[in-house]
Structures are given as C-alpha cells and as structure tokens.
Structure 1
C-alpha cells in the first residue's frame, strides 16, 4: 500500500511552482516512484530503449553504468558482467 507523500515537500512544491496541493502530491509520488524502480528493471528498460535506437551493447553497458552512478537513489556499482547477466540471464 503506497504511503502519502511528505506533506512538507508537497507544500513546498505547491508553493514554489503554482501547482495545487493535489497536483504537487502527484508530482512527488511520480518522482518517488521513478527513483524506487529496482536496478534490474531500470537496466532492462534502458537496455531495450537504447537498443531500439541502434546502440551497441558495449556502448549501452558503459552508458547504463554511468547513469546508475548518477542516480539520486544510488544503485550498487555493477560490472559489465553483472549488467549482461541482468539482460541475458
């Protein structure tokens, strides 16, 4: 069961953006959900997306590793081999 977003954060977002409290709460929930995505799902989703645009695996794995390093909710460091295992099992 999802928990209600932090009311102080919702109030801050509403005050600084002009959004209604309900809209601000939805934005906070969306951002939290985005960053709560498990590493494995993120890697699979990004791999599929980058593959769609013709990127090669060596480029994809390097890019995903870099992206994971910069995530707000830091993922554990993953080697290229670990990234490959997530994709190919």
Structure 2
C-alpha cells in the first residue's frame, strides 16, 4: 500500500508543478540532449496543450521569457 500512495503522490506532484517550473525543467532537459531552441519551444508548447489542466496557450516569445527572463 505504501508504494501505491507514493505513486499517487508523484502523479499529483507532477500535475501540480507550476507552468514556469515545467517550462524551465523541460527546456534544460531537452538542451542536455542537443535539441535546438526552435524545436524545444514548439515541443514544450505542444506538451503544455496536452496537460490534464492545460494553461492558456503560450507563444514562443512567452516561453523564451520564462526560460531566459
């Protein structure tokens, strides 16, 4: 039962992650594997749209501002 509770907590934490934290984390992860910004921001925008509770659509410029300030 402890393992099931831990899995549920992990899933809830994943979906509770703020959009800004998700964008920064995914950008860093994808850059680590050599992806270019153009494809990274397109991929992140698509991933955000598929989230259970999707945020408003963010433009590439908005995504860049989240990452680079």
TM-score between the two structures when normalised by the length of structure 1? 0.73
Could you list the runs of 5+ residues in structure 2 that have no partner in the other structure?
none
> d(CA) in 2 for partners of 1:71 and 1:33?
13
Kindly report the root-mean-square deviation, in angstroms, between the aligned alpha carbons of the 2 structures: 0.9
Matching residue of 1:34: 14
TM-score between the two structures when normalised by the length of structure 2? 0.93
Q: Which deviates further from its counterpart, 37-46 or 68-77?
A: 68-77
Q: How many aligned residue pairs are there?
A: 69
Greater CA radius of gyration, 1 or 2? 1
Could you list the runs of 5+ residues in structure 1 that have no partner in the other structure?
1-20
Give how far 1:76 is off: 2.0
Matching residue of 1:45: 25
> d(CA) in 1 for partners of 2:34 and 2:7?
32
Q: More helix by proportion, 1 or 2?
A: 2
Higher relative contact order (CA 8 A, sep 6+): 2
